[in-house]
Chains A and B, each alone.
Chain A
């Protein structure tokens, strides 16, 4: 049996302490889960262990032998393998080529394909999975990709295997297959660290569960016999919640409604109503279908069936062009790739949604264009070096405000926010919330998705719980604690 021990690890970033004197142990022969809400330091801890961060204080040991890496490659070669959420496979290559990438069996200057395939086959056999080694990765399913990722990690005979949210992209049946695989792996002398957001899984797969909160290791519990509430209170402690201002209230009028909206496998049978002036939250974990739902409502992806009604009028062929005309705005989750044209100026980005409104015939009314840009910069207090500077000159929070400002220029009646506070600092977050509330005061409705569930509790009038592509519950944030909300979203007992 081997043990990975971290002792007194502290890792600071400018302005924050990401890990604060963390001491923790992970043993082989069992599945060691690591949980904590967003920003609790899980990822940072993993990156300290796998060499991505060199500048930390404290010590790391495997079986009382100290180690310290400054580059992930060193850690990898020393037997610390990480399987990330994002796949790192090359789709055009075969299974065997991906597993042994760069480490092919050679025969002189040539690749010995027979040996290479055999070695890949041996690794897969050893894991007890059945995959065609010559198949092209692009033709396989997500679950098979995950297996290949793990096989790739196993091919270096690791001492430590870190699995970062391995089930987030998997369907239920695939998750079961993955668990079976993990159970086989722990019989070897491998220390498996399992990071997950899906709490209910932990009872099934994990033996112990270490909890991080605000960069501190607050406890490790044995999963056998542990109660749901115990885990949640470890994760959240006594979290003080901020509440929204009292004057944020929904009116009677329905502005948006969906009826049996479907886009399998992402979501199915979605029915809800959004009222005038309401801030409606959709809470769900990663992979619950929440982003896909928002995109479908905005027409970015075509739903398979069902209908969307705006002000009671059915939209038969939703598209971003049409939804914009109907007064719907969309602030996407990925500001960099979906929200902004980074190389263009702040002024042009602020006008991208409102080009029709600043047009005089075919031409741009440049005084109006300048006014539209100035208006949002002032109203939203966007801090810029100059409006002709490219977006890249702005901080995350200010970039986010530009995305919001771009949409406010069309004077929308509904604003869809996907992760409005992702990657922006605490101050900017509060400013974005203020904007959402101000919109509500002016009779605009907002539909908000966030991974930070406490944010939803803070800003929303009403929260719908989404899980595995379906709406499972609807709650009132005024009478709900954060633990209860996480419990509902993650499921479990």
Chain B
């Protein structure tokens, strides 16, 4: 038996290493503590719950985007998918109910279903363009971003469509027990879904392998193209669902929805420690990233920071968080070597 030699650092979990590992959690905690102390009205149950409601629209997509980015791809078209999904839901509902074919209450179901199916098809197109013609998903989905905005504007003729039934508002603005916002439930479901896929299924294992080293994954007999297509489809389905939540909140479908949301979606994923080069990332990290973004926005609102200044502050905080995270990852890698 050969003597088993262990690297010296192998079994040491010093405080500094733990703090590096949970860097984002610690930053978030500090931010929250600061706000509790300084911001009036931050630490109330209703405010905390509102944070979750506010982040739900982009947060739901962030979870699916985590899978995409771990798989070594990206989808920039999700912002306009929100608009398209909202417009489709409202338009289909309007068309079916105005002709008197069915009551608006049930027509909206068909509207939502149509939006979800269209979302899946868009994801399929993104995936096929990526895998069949080997076009980087950054480019393919950037093009799709423009196409989808155009299509949603054409369908809606540039105006918000408001033919939606009253009950539909519950999806985006309802509250359980008059307290917990319904969108927080969608956020939780998205988290659990992605958590299970990434941690408990073979697909999750494949996504990590494909993102970590596509060639090694392919030569292990993993169907790399299929994996890439499936994550690009899932993220579009989630984006379509986000469009439904948003249209329910506003009670309209408009082509102006979702502008620039893709950046918030991706920022939350990256803040959560997912590597843009693929193979590394966790659903839990993205949850932290989403809450981080929500808390920053909420804090700035409470302090009455102006809309223009908000952009600057948010940008700087994102940069700072990612910078700290990157330094942490690099120092962890140094330990391994």
Contact = CB atoms under 8 A, between A and B. Distances in A.
Interface string B14-25: 000000000000
Interface string B200-222: 11111110110011011111111
Interface in B139-179: none
A342 B333 CA distance: 12
Nearest to A352: B220
Interface stretch (B2-10, B74-82, B106-114, B255-263): B2-10
Contacts of B203: 362
B212 A320 contact: no
A171 interface: no
A338 B219 contact: yes
Given A320-B221, A344-B279, A355-B222, A338 B215 contact: yes
A486 interface: no
Contacts of A392: 336-337
A355 B205 contact: yes
B221 A353 contact: yes
B301 interface: no
B201, B212, B217: residue with the most chain A Cβ atoms closer than 10 Å: B212
Contact of A342 (B2, B4, B200, B212): B212
Contacts of A393: 7, 10, 336
A363 to B, nearest CB: 5
Contacts of A389: 10
Nearest to A385: B10
Contact of B208 (A330, A348, A353, A363): A348
A123 to B, nearest CB: 37
Contacts of A321: 221-223
A218 interface: no
Nearest to A389: B10
Given A324-B221, A363-B200, A337 B2 contact: no
A404 to B, nearest CB: 13
A383 B2 contact: yes
Contacts of B200: 363-364, 366
Given A362-B202, A362-B203, A385-B10, A353 B213 contact: no
B185 interface: no
Nearest to B204: A364
A341 B10 contact: no
A348, A381, A385, A386: residue with the most chain B Cβ atoms closer than 10 Å: A385
Contacts of B337: 392
Contact of B209 (A324, A344, A386): A344
Interface in A375-390: 381, 383, 385-386, 389-390
B129 interface: no
B219 A298 contact: yes
Nearest to A360: B202
Given A383-B2, A383-B5, A341 B213 contact: yes
Contacts of B279: 341, 343-344
A389 B10 CA distance: 9
Given A359-B202, A381-B2, A352 B222 contact: yes
B70 to A, nearest CB: 11
B71 to A, nearest CB: 12
Contacts of A355: 202, 205-206, 222
A406 interface: yes
Contacts of A344: 208-209, 212, 279
Contacts of B7: 385, 393
B322 interface: no
A323 interface: yes
A377 to B, nearest CB: 11
Nearest to A369: B205
B300 interface: no
Contacts of A400: none
A202 interface: no
Nearest to B218: A320
B201 A386 contact: no
B280 interface: yes
B217 A341 contact: yes
A325, A342, A355: residue with the most chain B Cβ atoms closer than 10 Å: A355
B7, B204, B216, B223: residue with the most chain A Cβ atoms closer than 10 Å: B216
B225 to A, nearest CB: 10
B218 A341 contact: no
B205, B279, B280: residue with the most chain A Cβ atoms closer than 10 Å: B205
30 contacts: A298-B219, A300-B219, A320-B218, A320-B220, A320-B221, A320-B222, A321-B221, A321-B223, A337-B216, A339-B219, A340-B213, A341-B279, A343-B279, A344-B209, A348-B209, A352-B205, A352-B217, A352-B220, A353-B221, A355-B205, A356-B202, A359-B202, A362-B201, A362-B202, A364-B202, A383-B2, A383-B5, A389-B10, A393-B7, A393-B10
Interface of B: 2, 4-7, 10-11, 200-206, 208-209, 212-213, 215-223, 279-280, 336-337
Given A340-B216, A362-B201, A383-B5, 12 more contacts: A332-B219, A337-B213, A337-B216, A339-B216, A341-B209, A342-B213, A343-B279, A344-B208, A344-B209, A348-B208, A348-B209, A362-B203
